[in-house]
Amino acid sequence: MEKLKERLAYFTKGEEYHLQDFMGCHRTDDGFVFRVWAPHAKQVWAVGDFNDWQKTHPMVKDDYGIWSITIGRVQTGQLYKFLVQEPNGKEVMKIDPMALRYEARPGTAAMVTEMPTRKWHDGLWKGRNKRSNNFSRPMNIYEVHPASWKQHADGSLYQFKDLTAELIPYVKEQGFNYIEFMPLTEHPLDASWGYQVTGYFALAHAYGEMADFQEFVDACHQANIGVLIDWVPGHFCINADALAYYDGTPTYEYQEKWRADNRGWGALNFDLGKPEVVSFLLSSALFWIENYHVDGLRVDAVSNMLYRDYDRGPGEWEPDQYGGNRNLEGIAFLHTLNRTIKWMHPEVLMIAEESSSQVKITGRIEDGGLGFDYKWNMGWMNDQLDFYGMDPYFRKDNFNQATFSFMYRMSENFILPLSHDEVVHGKRSLMNKMWGDRHQQFDQLRLLLTMQMTYPGKKLLFMGGEYGQYLEWRFNEGLEWSNQTDPLNDQMLAFDRSLNHFYLQERALWELEQEEASLVVIDADNRDESVLSFIRQGKTRHDFVVVILNFTPVERDHFTIGVPYAGTYQEVFNSALKAYGGTWETDNPESQTVARPFKQFDYQLETNVPAFGALILKPTKVTIKPHRHKKK
């Protein structure tokens, strides 16, 4: 009992990291104990299958605002809720916020259950991650909405048993080395895609058993595939039987209604300054890391936690104590979150989905960052998709959209996302965003993916983009796998597979990613021909690749670029080959340099660049002179 009081004290300080160990429903020698935090309730009852949902088991409140009761005749698998009497006397049936499992929808009751224990077989994977620097490793993420990757013939959803059998080998063969799942937590409405969370500790019932997801992650790790999950600590589902105004007063949400209401998502914002809420969210984050061995959290909607005026107009918000728009509690929470995760699990990746540039997101807190490892580069994504949807005639006048991100690429540690948000709500599929007829669209999709793969930053592609699905994503249907009977879609899939494996094997594309020397621009000023060229540099001087991207439907024969060393250069990747759906039968022949200046380079070479095509060259026989050291 003294140990419990000590942990409850930590809970009220925002310093309890494993709240699920004693809150919710737990087996004891006398049956099951139920505990729930509802500090301002007049009374709470435990109701469920064990008492015919009657008010026969009133709970008792302690000094910490936690109601508890031990009930003997409770069995695993039974359903339960808490009946909460609000301060005004109104009685509302509420979910258990700490439940590990809920019944199948449309029901919302918690299930009496226990976390399965597992003998894990991923020690090699976890040990390697602890010993290595994630910044100097390749990261190619396949973003998945598990309910719509595939569905059974009768329309029923794939569960994690199915995904273990089919998704893992597909991802491995295709050349992705991380899977990122949109939220897996329990949620009441499919149309929210999982972002309107009700159960922060519960795997959504529709995706199968808890042990199935453990098995999935273990199998991924044994296949050298990491698993990331989207996690939503900024806002929560507004449903009356869930967390909303849990005891009849602001409990998990802000006291001020204008801060609590999240109109953009039809949700409620967590009070990130309330210690009990901090303990709740920290415990949720650690729960998924420790019980499911996930490799990282992609934290959703960080901007909503950073700014008091986010998604609000004039007169709809109040400034902070310094007269600014910062959400000081939100910033403090994110500091605490990242410090805690990195203290307890330094190898776990913390990724921010954040769209502003006012606050530094990545990097050490001591250096002014928020402590995240990576941030989605929304600016790169918006610029590129706008540029690729543009008539090529106008690209020369908007060439800076293709190159502007060069200017700020070192300001954060970036992931380059081509995500679910861009292929829904009438925005069209990734392939169908491209300008031109169908063949030109596929040409440019190959060009876009080559640019993404060769540009500094980790990579993320939403499912369906790898084979150029024509229709935009629909959350309630499986992907159009029948597309692959079309040769263009099948060739696009083959292209993506080749490109991904090329990226994983080509160290120059990732081992110096966080350093200025990783990128050397050859020519970013060729507006008239709309051709961009640059070098990606590895650790050693001879380890580099030359990238040439042609953003027009005009083939550039005898195209000249500068290179740093004399010798021969071999084409190692060509996006326009017939095997990929292009028109080129073979690669370009080897290119020999000539000693002629080109911008900052002493040598030039010529090659032929396909229309809407991407080339990657590597030095084969070059002369690299030793660095001359100036005399002191």
Question: Residue 578 in 3-state DSSP?
Answer: helix
Q: Would you place residue 88 in the very low, low, confident or very high pLDDT band (cuts 50, 70, 90)?
A: very high
CA distances in angstroms from 323 to 317, 318, 326, 359, 576, listed in the order given: 12, 9, 9, 17, 56
- The answer on pLDDT for 631 being more than 60 is no
Average pLDDT value for the chain: 96
Burial of residue 232, with CB atoms counted within 10 A of its CB: 0-12 exposed, 13-18 middle, 19 or more buried: buried
Other CB atoms within 10 A of residue 595 CB: 8
- The answer on pLDDT for 366 being more than 50 is yes
CA distance 159 to 186: 14
Each residue's pLDDT tens digit, 166-220: 999 999 999 999 999 999 999 999 999 999 999 999 999 999 999 999 999 999 9
Helices 328-344 and 275-292 cross at an angle (nearest 10°) of 30
DSSP 595: S
- The answer on pLDDT for 628 being more than 70 is no
Mean pLDDT of 558-567: 96
The pLDDT of residue 151: 95
The pLDDT of residue 629: 55
- CB of 505 within 8 A of CB of 616? no
Contacts of 349 (CB under 8 A, 6+ apart): 134, 228, 295, 296, 297, 373, 374
The pLDDT of residue 625: 78
- The answer on pLDDT for 627 being more than 70 is no
Mean pLDDT of 395-399: 96
The pLDDT of residue 130: 86
- CB of 591 within 8 A of CB of 619? no
> Which position has the token pair 């000693």?
595
Sheet of 66-71, strands arranged across: 24-28, 31-37, 66-71, 60-61
Closest CA to 461 of 412, 510, 422, 508: 422
CA distance 586 to 618: 17
Task: Respond yes or no on whether the N-terminal peptide bond of residue 346 is cis (omega within 30° of 0).
Answer: no
Q: Would you place residue 11 in the very low, low, confident or very high pLDDT band (cuts 50, 70, 90)?
A: very high
Greatest CA separation for the chain: 91
Mean pLDDT of 126-136: 89
* Lookup: tokens for 515: 């350093």
Burial of residue 393, with CB atoms counted within 10 A of its CB: 0-12 exposed, 13-18 middle, 19 or more buried: exposed
- The answer on pLDDT for 242 being more than 60 is yes
- CB of 288 within 8 A of CB of 269? no
CA distance 465 to 452: 13
The pLDDT of residue 358: 87
The pLDDT of residue 356: 86
The pLDDT of residue 279: 98
Strand 614-623 with 603-609, pairing? unpaired
CA distance 80 to 50: 8
Q: Which of 143, 186, 218, 353 is catalytic?
A: 353
Closest CA to 102 of 123, 81, 120, 87: 81
The pLDDT of residue 296: 98
Question: Residue 115 in 3-state DSSP?
Answer: coil
Contacts of 37 (CB under 8 A, 6+ apart): 11, 23, 64, 65, 66, 67, 97, 246, 251, 276
Q: Would you place residue 632 in the very low, low, confident or very high pLDDT band (cuts 50, 70, 90)?
A: very low
Mean pLDDT of 550-554: 97
Q: Would you place residue 131 in the very low, low, confident or very high pLDDT band (cuts 50, 70, 90)?
A: confident
Kindly provide the b/e burial profile for residues 64-74, where b requires at least 16 CB atoms within 10 angstroms of the residue's own CB: ebbbbbbbeeb
Active site residue 506: no
Each residue's pLDDT tens digit, 569-612: 999 999 999 999 999 998 899 999 999 999 999 999 999 999 99
List phi, psi (to 5°) of 92: -130, 135
Active site residue 353: yes
Report which secondary-structure segment, H or E, holds 111: strand 110-111
Does 103 or 484 have the greater pLDDT score?
Answer: 103
Each residue's pLDDT tens digit, 268-303: 999 999 999 999 999 999 999 999 999 999 999 999
Q: Which of 300, 383, 511, 571 is catalytic?
A: 300
Q: Would you place residue 626 in the very low, low, confident or very high pLDDT band (cuts 50, 70, 90)?
A: confident
CA distance 287 to 92: 28
Q: What share of the chain is helix, strand, coil (3-state, %, to 5)?
A: 30, 25, 45
Each residue's pLDDT tens digit, 432-455: 999 999 999 999 999 999 999 999
The pLDDT of residue 624: 83
The pLDDT of residue 623: 86
User: What is the DSSP annotation of 394-444?
Assistant: GGGGGTHHHHGGGGTTTSS-EEEEE-GGGSSTTS--HHHHSSSSHHHHHHH
CA distance 160 to 163: 5
> Which position has the token pair 């991924």?
220
Angle at 297 between CA 293 and CA 303, to 5 degrees: 170
